[in-house]
Amino acid sequence: MNRREAIKITGLSALGVMFSPRLAAQSFLPTVLKRADFGKDFLWGVATAAYQIEGAWNEDGKGASVWDTFSHKKGKIKNGENGDTACDFYHRYAKDIGLVKEMGFRVKRFSLSWSRIMPEGTGTINTKGVDFYHKVIEECLVQGIEPWITLYHWDLPQALEDKGGWTNREVIQWFSEYVDFCTRTFGDKVKNWMVLNEPAAFTALGYLLGIHAPGKRGFNKFVAATHHATLCQAEGGRIIRKNVKNANIGSTFSCSYVQPFKNTEPHIKAADKMDAFLNRLFLEPALGLGYPFETVPILRKIKKFIQDGDMEKLAFDFDFIGLQNYTRNITRFNPFIPGISGLEVPAKKRNVPYTDMGWEVYPEGIYHLLKKFAAYKGVKKIIVTENGAAFPDAVQDNQVQDDQRIKFYQKYLEKVLQAKHEGVPVEGYFVWSLMDNFEWAEGFRPRFGLVYVDFLSQQRIIKNSGLWFKSFLNES
């Protein structure tokens, strides 16, 4: 289950950004794309996550998260790295938000660190943590950037994990308390909210495979975490609706376009099951369709965790669905894989282009997924809340010439536009990511950013891809 574990030229010296005048006149890779083709109300943004960029892991009263604990354990993260400092966004947020504006984006999607606000997960509020997010929100608004908040992006407070985390049904109450506080505290300034980021990823990688925090393994742990996260997804939406006037509410789903290795029945059935795991498991309950038990019978093990009234509580009428896509999944029948009877065939073995994460570059996939999601009754609006690519960037003469990334965005945006022209209600596109950051178990090697970060000096360098977006977004 391979998932995504994913300037205004003058005045840059004041932002601490390196820039070469030669880039100002540079002609980027040719493209027929024009911003105007997407419509004047189409949203353009960048996305980040708290643990991946903030650093300050134990400053100003912040409690430990599962990622603090996990990354400090030997052998869990490549090269023994951790997010203790990351991009130091906690101290550099104003300049980094300035980069968002300079590149022409008008939305910044970011997450709140639960343990920075509630160090023990419930109860006592850390006022310094709350003040930090007030400052980030205010800085966005001052610079003309619309803040979009993700309430949960994988960094559960360790104090709650010590009680079972997402496998403990009490997480519904813990999460509800957190969401209630955040939306009452920040809801007068922030109208755009996402409940969970990629629940299929943090449940599978964290509680089934154990390769992400908190490092637990076991199918029973996975299905318990899945059911509780699905209930929290809907309950979080209901709390936002109650607390925030005129809120725009969504949740984000990691999606991979799944195709069978061969057009034969065993491969097709395995691909159908993989699609249910990757793309349907959390979306369909939110739409009132329940879990995909018929496609994946092993998921019926969830039933031991379902209580009276739960199935009705899984659904919530979201204003938008956040679609996050990075790659395609080619599934090959394998009878030794429990439940799915299939396994992904890596891009490296298929002689296709792939990124530094080993993920296939397949722009057609985002088109097919947009069409697939739009076909669901109840999906009113879709925002591409993450799309991007990691490539082995290098600095030369204070420049980062990342033509592969520019081509990636051009091709994917062409497919987003095609879907839009065919009637898919896709109304925004957020780049992953603003800057290079801590890429979970992969550490700092994979670079997804439009901004290059030297993690030793914390110097920022706008990559050519960031300058391409500046040119694209500022055209009349």
Residue 383 contacts residue 148 (beta carbons within 8 Å): no
Q: Residues in the chain, how many?
A: 476
Cα 221 to chain centroid distance, Å, stands at 23
Q: Decide: 204 and 253 in contact? Cβ < 8 Å.
A: no
| Token pair listed for 60 | 């100003």
In 10 A of CB 263, how many CB atoms? 9
Catalytic residue among 198, 235, 284, 344: 198
Query: Which residue of the set 54, 235, 386, 439 is catalytic?
Result: 386
Residues in a beta bridge with 50: none
For tokens 């699609």, name the residue: 275
Is 59 annotated as catalytic?
A: no
CA 375 to chain centre: 23
Phi-psi region of 207 (alpha: psi -120 to 50; beta: other; left: phi over 0): alpha
386 in active site: yes
What is the rounded CA–CA span in Å between residue 472 and residue 22? 18
- Catalytically annotated residues: 198, 386
